[in-house]
Amino acid sequence: MSFKSAVITFPGSNCDRDALCYLQDLTKGVVYNIWHEEASLPKVDLVILPGGFSFGDYLRSGAMASKSKIINDVIKHANDDRYLLGICNGFQILTEIGLLEGALIQNKNLKFLGKNCFIKKKFKNNFNLSIKEDQVLQIPVAHNEGNFYCDNETLKSLKNNEQIAFEYCKGEFSNSEENINGSIEAIAGITNKKKNILGMMPHPERAYSDFHPSQDGKLIIESLIT
């Protein structure tokens, strides 16, 4: 059975091509590119909401995209227990839709942050099965609003339900901070309770080719396919 996937493009998405290449190269299956105004999604195993500045980040990052026409079908896709991955702006859109809890606020130093970061897995889910406990992944981040925030009650339930997928950590020989953007408990990515939806700030689609400084981003697709 070949793995089918789709990437949604909103006006202002700028990692849609990167996500398409990432899926094409790693899944070897059919990959659809869906324009936000289309009414329906083809039946696929995985949908990616890519990074970028959908609708120019006007109002709030992800807020306008969360009201796009295609979103109804994206919600249906997720309700069918199929995989949904939001990367960076895609993560912000998922929290705006309400498919994931919490919110992404401005980085603690109030500046855009574009650099390699280090993350490790916190709780096991289908997106990180191929990643070992305590394995440190090197993956780039590029965001202005990546500082994950939620209230104490939500945090407690995220932990109780093992919804924290990734947390920022320190890399070997790196003198950068452990928690790069000030996220609560250094959270870099969370899932929904059913764990078929993942939102993460780092960009795995920029860390998979031989010429990238790291190929750790492969592990997410590998986890889903095997």
Partner 1 sequence: MNEDLILQHGLTLDEFKIIKNYLDRDLTMEELGIFSAMWNEHCCYKTSKKWLKKLPTKNEIVIQGPGENAGIIDIQDNDGIAFKIESHNHPSYIEPFNGSATGVGGILRDIFTMGARPIATLDSIRFGLIESEKTKYLLNGVVHGIGHYGNCIGIPNIGGECEFESTYGFNNLVNAMAVGHVQKDKIFYSKPKSIGGLIVYIGSKTGKDGIHGASMASDVFSEDDEDDKRPSVQVGDPFMEKLLMEGCLELMSLGLIESMQDMGAAGITSSSVEMASKGNVGVLINLDKVPLRQPLSAYEILLSESQERMLAVIDEKNNLKVKEILQKWQIDYEVIGEITNNKRVVFESNNKKVVDLPVDIIVDDAPEYDREFYMPRKRKGKDFDFSNIKLEEIINTLLSNLNYLHKSWVFNQYDSTVMGDTVKEPGQSSGIVKIHGTQKVIGATTDCNPLYIRINPYEGMKYTVAESYRNLIACNINPLAITNNLNFASPLDPNIMGELVLSIDGLKTAAERFNTPIVSGNVSLYNQTNEIPIKPTPVIGMVGSNQDLKKINSNKFCNIGNKILILGKQLEKNLSPYLLQDQNLASNINEYNDLVELDLDYEKKVADCVLKMSDLKYIMSCNDISRGGVFLSLLKMQYKDMGFKVNMPDPIDLFCEYSAGYVIEIMNEDLNNVSSFLSENGVGYLEIGEIIKENIEINSKKFDYFDIINNYHNNFEKIIN
Report how many residues bind partner 1 under the rule CB under 8 A. Answer: 33
What's the closest the beta carbon of residue 150 comes to partner 1, in angstroms?
A: 26
- The answer to whether residue 29 forms part of the interface with partner 1 (CB under 8 A) is no
Question: Is residue 199 within a helix (H) or strand (E), and if so which, with residue range?
Answer: strand 197-200
Residue 205 annotated as catalytic: yes
Show the beta-strand stretches assigned E in 16-134. 31-35, 46-49, 83-87, 103-105, 113-121
The CA angle 46-47-50, to the nearest 5 degrees, is 135
Options 7, 18, 155, 181; binder of partner 1; rule CB under 8 A: 18
Please give the residues from 143 up to 182 whose contact with partner 1 meets the rule CB under 8 A. Answer: 144, 172-173, 175
Q: Cα separation of 152 and 185, whole Å?
A: 11
Please give the residues from 94 up to 113 whose contact with partner 1 meets the rule CB under 8 A. Answer: 111-113
What's the closest the beta carbon of residue 205 comes to partner 1, in angstroms?
A: 6
Options 77, 121, 206, 218; binder of partner 1; rule CB under 8 A: 206
Options 3, 53, 91, 168; binder of partner 1; rule CB under 8 A: 53
- The answer to whether residue 52 forms part of the interface with partner 1 (CB under 8 A) is yes
- The answer to whether residue 91 forms part of the interface with partner 1 (CB under 8 A) is no
Long-range contacts of 191-195 (CB under 8 A, 24+ apart): 191/100, 191/125, 191/127, 191/163, 191/165, 192/78, 192/99, 192/100, 192/163, 193/161, 193/163, 194/81, 195/125, 195/126, 195/127, 195/162, 195/163
Contact 50, 12 (CB under 8 A): no
Non-local (6+) Cβ contacts of 59 within 8 A are: none
- The answer to whether residue 21 forms part of the interface with partner 1 (CB under 8 A) is yes
What's the closest the beta carbon of residue 216 comes to partner 1, in angstroms?
A: 14
Neighbours of 22 (CB within 10 A): 28
What's the closest the beta carbon of residue 15 comes to partner 1, in angstroms?
A: 6
The one segment of 98-106, 152-160, 186-194, 199-207 that binds partner 1 by CB under 8 A = 199-207
Q: DSSP letters along 169-186, please?
A: -PPTT--S-SSSS--GGG
Over the window 125 to 144, marking each residue x when it contacts partner 1 by CB under 8 A and - when it does not, the resulting string is ---------------x-x-x
In the structure encoding, which two tokens stand for residue 178, read together?
A: 């452990």
Which residues sit at the interface with partner 1, rule CB under 8 A? 11-12, 14-15, 17-18, 21-22, 37, 51-53, 55-58, 111-115, 140, 142, 144, 172-173, 175, 203, 205-206, 209, 211-212
- For the annotated catalytic residues, the residue numbers are 88, 203, 205
